[in-house]
Structure 1
Amino acid sequence: MKKMRLALIAGGKSAEREVSLKSGEQVFRALNKDKYDIRRYDPLTDLGKLVQDSPELDAALIIMHGRGGEDGTLQGMLDLLGVPYQGSGVLGSALGMNKELSKFLYQKAGLDVARAIFFDRHEAPSPQEIAAELGLPAVVKPVNEGSSIGVTIARTLEELKAGLEAAYQYDHRVLVEEFIKGIEVTGGVLGNHDLTALPLVEICPSESYAFFSYDAKYLPGASTEICPARLDPELTRRCQAAALAAHKALCCRGYSRTDMLVRDGKVHVLETNTIPGMTATSLFPQAAAVMGLDFPALLDKLIELALEKD
């Protein structure tokens, strides 16, 4: 049987480069070498080679996070080259990366979100004005980043001021939203036209972390994940329905993972990841495994979905 010529794209120059490289290595190890002729590319150094090789490629796996990989730019390039890839296209990727637009679309879809304000650095309200509108503690985030990069929880005006400065390191546009203390869950969705909601994963950051921060996501022992989540059947159904609705609202394709907070029976949608973390122990593969798809089988499924015609 002829092997499929597969581009494995990982690395890039975003703030999440190291996570992408780690994920790419684990994906490479898990892929069936009898089925795939795997060619590896790092957009930081290999874009020209990717363009040159594109006529020979059957499909691409984008294992990228953050700007230049998850925001629609690489997807647009592959569209121009005629190389199919897993996951969302240009529009869905761009919407998922922009927390301001995604929050607007969640609300249009009838989903509950945390109250928030958005502003550019040059027109930022004072910390006092922000606190008066949202109260403290509040969560500060760059509008265009993932993996909780640049995200802080501000409990005082001084912390709010410092949090804004930290967020500005990653984006000129920032959001500040009310802090919701609740159960953190994430819901995966798999499919193109026939969508499947994966079992929910409950995230329990250790006491050292106030939320599922970058370190809590990637440092060993910094958080505990429980799948399926410890929610009653009705709340589970509503969280899975919210993940499906978020996936559709952002025009996602192939797969996505939506983070949510549950408080007093109410589901608050936070954000949607259009390229979820893809190490064997990442949240999306964990949920797929509970559903019966081990890591190599999940990768096969994503490639199959990439080749499916719209």
Structure 2
Amino acid sequence: MNDQYQANDFGRVAVLLGGNSAEREVSLRSGKAVLQSLKRQSVDAIGFDPAESQLTDLIKEKVDRVIIMLHGRGGEDGTVQGALEWLGIPYTGSGVLGSALSMDKIRSKQIWESRGLPTAKYQIADKTGFEAGSCGAIMEKLGNKVMVKPAREGSSIGMAKVTSAKQLETAIQDAFKYDNQVLLEQFIDGPEFTVSLIQGRALPSIRMSTPHTFYDYAAKYHDDTTEYFCPSGLSDKQEAELAQLATDAFYALSGRGWGRVDIMQDNAGRFCLLESNTVPGMTEKSLVPKAARVAGIEFDALTRAILETSMPDVLAEQE
């Protein structure tokens, strides 16, 4: 975090929120929380919903920079980043490549594999060539417990845990409603962790516990039975290992500025990468603010640090 900036150094800031993705409602909540925070800090900030206005209106609004709070497709996949590049408007977080790679769970795993980073065994189901008769062999290869995930959705949308070939077939067909490619991933029995990153710093890990079958959309945003542990209960050595793994994974995908990496730990204590998030949630239930608070960074300081990732000198440090 950089203390050299005053509120007026940021100029006029647009908080991009809402959008047209399946995560619109969460994005609206994240964006409104960030907008209120920036206003408390006397930043000249406005809310801007691309579902209701053309991006070129940012020019008419005389916006100097953008803080992206669009989750999912259109906001987290490189699309809006490319448009802002074309408009010449600085923005927070990862660029076009880092956003696109991180949004795609299949490409993420392929890159991590090529870098020797640990991730669970997987198969790919393609809508154009999927054969239901292959489900039995897939289940056997992946250990008979499989997570089904649309390749390019967030917030656990379209995901399912299956334990039979019939369930797998149904879950794949359901996931095809969201994406033409579906990731079939070996289910890992063990605790789930997440590590938030801000300006190159890894924040304390959070361990999630839910009575749901897995940490799904309801567990993330609606269910009060989900528990969050930060500190997560790891030893200092394990915490350092997890922080380094998350950092390596994030930058392997050309991540930049800020983000969050989700990780499972198997029964043998080994960590396995799940996915990288380049525009994590910033709602009252979100994980990045929880970890920041434990690190001594209150919400306003966190939003300020995220906004700083649009500044040239902070950006240069992340290249």
TM-score bin (small chain): over 0.9
Partner of 1:142: 150
Correspondent of 1:285 among 286, 289, 294: 289
4+ long deviations beyond 6 Å: none
Deviations 1:131-190 (Å, cap 9, x if unpaired)? 132131111011111111111000122211111111111001111011111110001111
Match of 1:231 in 2: 234
**Residue aligning to 2:26:** 19
How far apart, CA to CA, are the structure 2 residues paired with 1:132 and 1:190? 40
Structure 1 equivalent of residue 280 of structure 2: 276
Which residue, out of 123, 126, 133, partners 2:129? 123
TM-score (structure 1 length as normaliser): 0.94
State, as a whole percentage, how many aligned pairs show the same letter.
Answer: 39
For 1:266, the aligned partner's letter is R
TM-fit CA distance, 1:115: 0.3
CA contact (8 A) 1:76 1:90 kept: yes
Distance 1:132 1:90 in 2: 37
Partner of residue 306 from structure 2, selected from 284, 298, 302: 302
The reply to whether residue 102 of structure 1 matches residue 105 of structure 2 is no
The 5 Å alignment of 1:207-218 reads 207=211, 209-218=212-221
Separation in 2, partners of 1:281, 1:215: 12
Shift of 1:128: 1.6
CA RMSD of aligned residues (A): 1.5
1:199 is aligned to 2:204? yes
The amino acid of 2:44's aligned partner reads D
8 Å Cα contact 2:35-2:46 kept in structure 1: no
User: What do residues 11-63 of structure 1 show as CA deviations (whole Å, max 9, x unaligned)?
Assistant: 11111011101111211222234521222211111125534436x21211110
Distance in 2 separating the partners of 1:2 and 1:19: 27
Does 2:269 align with 1:265?
yes
CA distance in 1, matches of 2:32, 2:144: 41
Tell me if structure 2 keeps the 8 A contact 1:280–1:295.
no
Q: 1:186 — aligned with what?
A: 194
Read off the aligned partner of 1:171 and give its amino acid letter: D
Distance 2:95 2:244 in 1: 22
Question: Are the counterparts in 2 of residues 143 and 171 from structure 1 also a CA contact under 8 Å?
Answer: yes
Aligned-partner residue type, residue 206 of structure 2 = V
Select 1:79's aligned residue among 76, 81, 85.
85
- Which whole-Å CA distance do the structure 1 matches of 2:93 and 2:171 have between them? 32
Higher strand residue share:
1
What is the SS of the residue equivalent to 1:13?
A: coil
Q: In structure 1, what is the Cα distance between the partners aligned to 2:149 and 2:189?
A: 17
